[in-house]
Amino acid sequence: IFNTVEQMPRFPGCEEKTDKEEKEQCSGQKLMQYIYSNLRYPESAIEKGIEGRVVVRFVIDKSGYVTDVKILRDIGGDCGTEVKRVIESMNALPEKWIPGRQAGQKVNVYYTLPVVFKLSK
């Protein structure tokens, strides 16, 4: 499993972009949009006033599936469990991730992401 590759995996929906940087930027935006539109702030975290950053790491495999989801940093209040649920839910999307490539071959790649929980005041 690679940490960095020549072509990092991309969240689906940006393949019409021609420039590599545009594709990557679009992919990052669509990924965060997906996460934050599906993320539910856990009741226990709201009750305890828990805010902060959950760090999640997962693998995008050669077929574009999300596997091996691990919470590297949790803030409690079921926030890590909720992030894991949302990340794993990407496998149910009709379009899979565009797999990462190294030397022209599709490869498994680690993807690490911070997800911020902030209560609205």
Cα separation, 69 vs 84, whole angstroms: 7
The number of beta carbons lying within 10 Å of the beta carbon of residue 83 is: 23
**Domain-embedded: residue 2:** no
Q: Please answer whether residues 80 and 54 qualify as being in contact, where contact means their C-beta atoms are separated by less than 8 angstroms.
A: yes
Q: Is the pLDDT of residue 121 over 80?
A: no
**Domain-embedded: residue 65:** yes
- CATH number of the domain that 107 lies in? 3.30.2420
pTM above 0.75, yes or no: yes
Task: Give 61-95 pLDDT, tens digit per residue.
Answer: 999 999 999 999 999 999 999 999 999 999 999 99
Task: Give 9-27 pLDDT, tens digit per residue.
Answer: 999 999 888 888 899 999 9
Q: How many domains does the chain have?
A: 1
**Domain-embedded: residue 14:** no
State which H helix or E strand residue 86 sits in.
helix 79-89
Please tell me the predicted confidence (pLDDT) of residue 23.
Answer: 92
**Domain-embedded: residue 112:** yes
Confidence of residue 31 (pLDDT cuts 50, 70, 90): very high
Q: Which amino acid is at 76?
A: G
Q: Is 44 helix (H, G, I), strand (E, B) or coil?
A: helix
